Structure 1
Amino acid sequence: MTRRHPSEADTEVVAESGGKSVRSPHNLEIARVIRDHHASVYRYAYRLTGSQADAEDLTQQTFLTVHQRLDQLREPDKIVAWLFAIVRSLFLKERRKKSPIDAASLELDVHEVPAAVEAETPIDRQALQQAINELPDEYKLVLMLFYFEDCSYKEIAEKLEIKIGTVMSRLARAKERLRWRLAKLAGEYAGSEPAD
């Protein structure tokens, strides 16, 4: 008997059961989800964590969760939103274990702070990633979806299950905090950090 070696494009998943290979429609569907969405899930996880190892772990946890809950997906046309919600949920759950987030701080108003960095200010990718990683999670999530996943306000609101106005205010706050952090890194701004 010739043994076939699976390729990346192979959509068949074979589950070993009692020494016999069993093809399962559920496993075939999981394989299709992984094949079609692995790259975008990994990119999102990487942007959230800022670490390749953590992103790989988060991606793996996400697809393990998908394997367990695929039958709970009610609207297959919204699978990307569902996947991102799983990534976000797992990410936030892990973050809460490390340092609990005060729920009251999620919706506080931001005081006006003058823009400190002009668009032309050169900044390296590492400094940008560091500044993004230092943002509070609720701001980082919106920023990642808007700029790195090219989601609209409406898509972000659906994925995060928040109102469009909340998306807009969190994005504005995220950009202001990011400007301040980048300006501080560049040594151009000595003012106080923007408030939540």
Structure 2
Amino acid sequence: MISLTVGLVLVGAVTVLNLMLTLAVIRRLRRHESERRQPFGAIDSGPETGSVIPGFTAVTVAGEPVSEGLLKGRQAALTFLSTDCSACTTAVGDLPEFARRTGMDAAQMLVVIAGDAEDARRMAAPLADLATVVVEETGGPLSTLYSIRATPTTVMTDPDGTVTYAQAGTHPVLEGLPA
């Protein structure tokens, strides 16, 4: 009888231990899943909302000068991409829809592509009539000036040049736009 009682207590203790370990694993998996599902946009990238866009001058792939002054006077969007970023390819594909839904033209959309110059020019090819494109080396002056820590990052400004939106992610702006 004692051995039966000891056996039942031992089985009960093992069952409780198994239940506690299972609950710990489930809790860890849920935390891991919520971290994985956290929007990419949670990464702090781009200038702070409410700040004025920093001044810059650059040369486009077409050889024309561009500066922050050309973006002022109407709403503008700056998109920062990288040649070594797989999500940036998706972002390039989303830009025509973004332009259509916002009504922005090439003068209002500045795309900065960082990385290998030849790869950047290939990435820029579909954007020829859609946006003003600047190519720079990885960690280049515009990416540094705009505090870009992740690509793709989209920065939206109002006509005064004040940042109204800055977020990293493949197409966060498209998701927030009206249909």
Structure having greater relative contact order (Cα 8 Å, sep ≥ 6): 2
Higher-Rg structure is: 2
Higher helix share: 1
TM-score by length of 1: 0.21
Higher strand share: 2
TM-score by length of 2: 0.23
